C-alpha cells in the first residue's frame, strides 16, 4: 500500500535517510530533475512512537502545494510501484513543510540553474581534442589499487588522478554554448542547464561522475550523451564550487572509486 500525506504524523522521530539503495536514489533524482515545479526533495527515515519499524520518507517542496503536490507525489508513487515494490510498503511521500527548517542544507535535491560558465575552462591545452580521452595510466592505477591497497598503489593512484583528463557525460537538450577564447573551449550561455546524470552514494549524497574513457561511460549508461573533457584541476574546482556535491565517483559501476571532498582538497595540492 502506498502512502501520501500532506504533513508528518505528530510526534514522530526523523533523521536523514541511512543506507538508501543507490539505484533507488538514482531513480528518485531523475524524477526530481524532470519535475520543474519541484523546488526541493528530502530523503528521511521516520519512526512512529511505539513502532519498531523505520519508514522511508520522500518529502517534497513544490511551488504550488495545493495545485501541484498530488501530481508530483504521484510520479514517485508510480516509480515505487513499478520498480521498487518491496520498498513501497514502508514509504511515505509527503510535503516537506514539517521538515524543511530542521533539514535546511541537507536536501537530497534542490532545483538549481547551471552557471553561465564553469569556474574554469571546460577544455584547455594541453588537452588534444583530436585524440580520444583514454587515461591508460589511471586505469592501471585503479586496477592496482583495487587489487592491493598499499602506500605505493595509493601514491600512484593519487598522482594519476591529479594528472588525468576526465570525461563528464551530460544530456545536451538544454545546453547552449559559444566558443571560448582558447581552442576547444566552450562557454555555457546564460540560462543553459547542465544536466549531468545523477550519481549518489548509499546515503543519497550526490557525486559528480567522472570517467576515464568512453568504454567506462558505456558500461554505466545506455542513454545517448555528450561529454565534457575536464582536466583534473578543473573537475576538482567544479565539484568544490557546487554545494550539493559530496565528491566524485571515478568510473561509476561495480568497481567505482569514491573520492570525497576532503580527498579532492588534498589532490589539489599535488599539482
CA within 13 Å, CB half, 208: 27
* Cα–Cα distance for residue pair 270/164, rounded to 1 Å: 12
Which helix (H) or strand (E) segment holds residue 143: the answer is helix 136-147
Grid cell, residue 22, equals: 543507490
* Cα–Cα distance for residue pair 30/23, rounded to 1 Å: 11
Residues 199/207, Cβ–Cβ less than 8 Å: yes
Domain limits, the chain? 3-110, 136-267
Using left for φ > 0, alpha for ψ between -120 and 50, and beta otherwise, residue 157 falls in alpha
Q: What is the pLDDT along the chain (271 residues), one digit of tens a residue?
A: 344 443 444 568 899 998 888 888 888 988 998 888 888 899 999 988 878 888 999 999 998 889 999 999 999 999 999 888 888 888 999 999 888 788 877 888 887 644 434 444 444 434 544 567 889 999 999 999 999 988 899 999 999 999 999 999 888 765 666 666 655 555 656 666 667 887 887 777 889 999 999 999 988 888 788 888 899 999 999 999 988 899 999 998 767 899 999 999 999 888 6
- Give the domain 3-110 fold: GMP Synthetase; Chain A, domain 3 (3.30.300)
* Cα–Cα distance for residue pair 142/251, rounded to 1 Å: 10
The model's pTM: 0.53
Grid cell, residue 218, equals: 558505456
What secondary structure letter does DSSP report for 211? B
SS3 107: coil
Grid cell, residue 233, equals: 584541476
Phi/psi of residue 144, nearest 5 degrees: -65, -40
* Cα–Cα distance for residue pair 140/146, rounded to 1 Å: 10
Quickly tell me which residue has 570525461 as its cell.
Answer: 167
What secondary structure letter does DSSP report for 122? S
Amino acid at each position: 500500500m502506498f502512502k501520501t500525506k500532506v504533513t508528518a504524523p505528530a510526534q514522530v522521530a526523523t533523521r536523514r535517510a541511512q543506507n538508501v539503495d543507490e539505484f533507488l536514489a538514482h531513480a528518485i533524482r531523475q524524477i526530481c530533475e524532470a519535475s520543474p515545479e519541484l523546488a526541493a526533495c528530502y530523503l528521511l527515515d521516520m519512526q512512529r512512537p511505539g513502532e519498531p519499524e523505520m519508514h522511508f520518507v520522500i518529502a517534497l517542496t513544490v511551488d504550488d502545494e495545493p495545485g501541484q503536490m498530488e501530481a508530483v507525489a504521484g510520479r514517485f508513487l508510480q516509480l515505487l510501484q513499478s520498480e521498487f515494490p518491496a520498498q513501497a510498503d514502508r514509504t511515505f511521500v509527503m510535503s516537506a513543510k514539517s521538515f524543511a527548517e530542521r533539514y535546511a542544507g541537507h536536501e537530497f535535491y534542490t532545483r538549481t540553474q547551471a552557471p553561465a560558465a564553469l569556474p574554469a575552462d571546460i577544455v584547455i591545452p594541453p588537452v588534444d581534442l583530436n585524440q580520444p580521452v583514454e587515461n591508460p595510466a589511471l586505469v592501471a592505477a585503479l586496477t592496482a589499487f583495487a587489487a592491493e591497497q598499499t602506500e605505493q598503489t595509493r601514491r600512484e593512484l593519487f598522482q594519476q588522478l591529479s594528472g588525468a583528463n576526465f570525461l563528464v557525460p551530460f544530456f545536451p537538450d538544454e545546453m547552449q554554448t559559444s566558443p571560448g577564447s582558447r581552442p576547444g573551449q566552450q562557454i555555457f550561455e546564460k540560462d543553459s542547464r547542465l544536466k549531468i546524470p545523477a550519481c549518489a552514494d548509499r546515503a543519497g549524497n550526490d557525486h559528480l561522475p567522472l570517467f576515464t574513457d568512453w568504454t567506462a561511460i558505456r558500461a554505466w549508461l545506455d542513454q545517448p550523451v555528450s561529454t565534457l573533457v575536464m582536466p583534473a584541476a578543473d573537475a576538482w574546482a567544479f565539484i568544490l564550487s557546487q554545494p550539493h556535491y559530496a565528491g566524485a565517483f571515478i568510473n561509476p559501476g561495480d568497481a567505482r572509486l569514491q573520492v570525497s571532498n576532503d580527498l579532492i582538497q588534498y589532490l589539489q595540492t599535488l599539482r
